[in-house]
Structure 1
């Protein structure tokens, strides 16, 4: 399994809305994540800085990256865009993190 970690940024005042939207994750989006190999997926919020920390595991990173080309993923991005910092295509502004330590 490949471990992936990244940070994203939520707009101030939307912390509860962000959580609510993920509590009600669309079944089609959940299925797309699973079809593209995402497992053990968690997102954490650091409220003081509005930084989101995402962690997931994938069997194959290239397969996982293909999710960005699906209609459901693009629809989700557009749905989330009003409450997050996004790129022009509505994808979230994301910074991948480099793993520097892992204890198994």
Structure 2
């Protein structure tokens, strides 16, 4: 299992909409996340920055690759057009944050 933290940015004024959409996550999307090997997915927002923590099996790369290959993930992402303004870096990769501390 590998832990990961990544950051995205939402458009100003869409904070409540972003929250509501996640309160009402499509059951099929939640299942696609689980089936991809991603668990304990938690998002926290500060202003328009949203920070996500997840645990991935066997590690980050294959878990997010599997999720990215699903039609459900494509549909979910398209539904956030105009809400999410930045989720990847210049190379098209999620904007990961380096882990600097962990305590069990």
TM range, normalised to the smaller chain? 0.7 to 0.9
Provide the aligned length of Structure 1 versus Structure 2: 97
CA deviation vs aligned residue, 1:49-78 (integer Å, no higher than 9, x gap)? x11000010122233122111110000000
Q: How does 1:1-104 map to 2 (within 5 A)?
A: 1-47=1-47, 50-60=48-58, 61-65=60-64, 66-86=66-86, 92-93=87-88, 94-104=94-104
TM-score, normalised to structure 2's length?
A: 0.87
Q: Which runs of 5+ in 1 are unaligned?
A: 87-91
Q: Take 1:8 and 1:81, find their aligned partners in 2: how far apart are those partners? A: 13
TM-score, normalised to structure 1's length?
A: 0.87
Q: Take 1:81 and 1:20, find their aligned partners in 2: how far apart are those partners? A: 15
Q: Take 1:84 and 1:62, find their aligned partners in 2: how far apart are those partners? A: 22
Q: Take 1:95 and 1:31, find their aligned partners in 2: how far apart are those partners? A: 23
SS of the residue 1:82 aligns to: coil
The CA RMSD measured in Å over matched residues stands at 1.2
Q: Which runs of 5+ in 2 are unaligned?
A: 89-93
Q: Take 1:80 and 1:12, find their aligned partners in 2: how far apart are those partners? A: 14
Structure with the bigger percentage of strand: 2
SS of the residue 1:22 aligns to: helix
Q: Where do 4+ consecutive residues of structure 1 move more than 4 Å? A: none
